Amino acid sequence: MAGSVRVTRYQFTAAGVSAGERVIPQETPVAIVHDAATYAVMMATPADLEDFVLGFSLTEGVIASLADVREIEIVEAGAGVEARLWLAPGRSAPLAERRRRLAGPTGCGLCGIESLEEAVRPLGLVTQAGPVVGYDEVMAAMAALAGAQTLGRETRAVHGAGFWRPAEGLVALREDVGRHNALDKLAGALARQGEAADNGIVLLTSRVSVEMVQKTAAMGVCVLVAVSAPTALAVHMAEEAGITLIAVARADGFEVFTHFNRVAGMMENGQQLLKGRGSHV
């Protein structure tokens, strides 16, 4: 299925009304199916669905690595699409403990979660190391992300998630109508390509909610950069997980919320500002 479609629209301006066309993104129900049982149903852009089901399964903790997967199959089914993932022998028991059916909005909500405690579960420390990034690199990464968003330029209606590695540039990019979906697709793409994620940066065109931090942590990435602001819980979770959270990344700069030791120049220039305040280091 195509990721976008061309439709007729009528434009109203001060000069009058004109007919024309606009490219808009496709949105379809996608059932995430593990071993023939539906785990979740998400509204998503029907592109890169192999990456989506794999990345979703990784970031939701259904599988630990590509080695847990026996087969992936994408099947058009009635009103939507089934993204079928068959688990390797021995992986069915952990899945059975979390399985439930869920119909959610556009890639939002906490899937397969059955308690409030699990929704805000503590995150383990991602890594003590990770890349150190500077102002120029963050700005270059976000510019590259914007420039590579083909579907985004066509429709102005999708989110993007990219992976940037210092000295290499933009390694992978995925787009979707749902910001969670875009990040899941990115996670799946990196896994399928055999790319290590602990030495790079996740880039987002969206705000940073707690789920985005949780998924980034599940990928093993310790630097997250986003265009929009984070929620308070996202900042708390990023601090807890050891993730450097950079947000409000615009043309004139960005803001660092947690673990600024991975941002070049912050240790020298930021210490005086942080004296007498609670710091996130």
Which active-site residues does the annotation give?
108
Start-to-end CA distance of the chain, whole Å, equals: 45
User: Nearest Cα to 219, choosing from 199, 236, 235?
Assistant: 199
* Residue 281 to residue 279: CA distance in whole angstroms: 6
Q: What's the one-letter identity of residue 32? A: I
Give yes or no for a contact between 246 and 224, defined as CB atoms under 8 angstroms apart. yes
Q: What is the DSSP letter of 269?
A: H
Contacts of 281 (CB under 8 A, 6+ apart): 259, 260, 261, 274
* Residue 1 to residue 48: CA distance in whole angstroms: 10
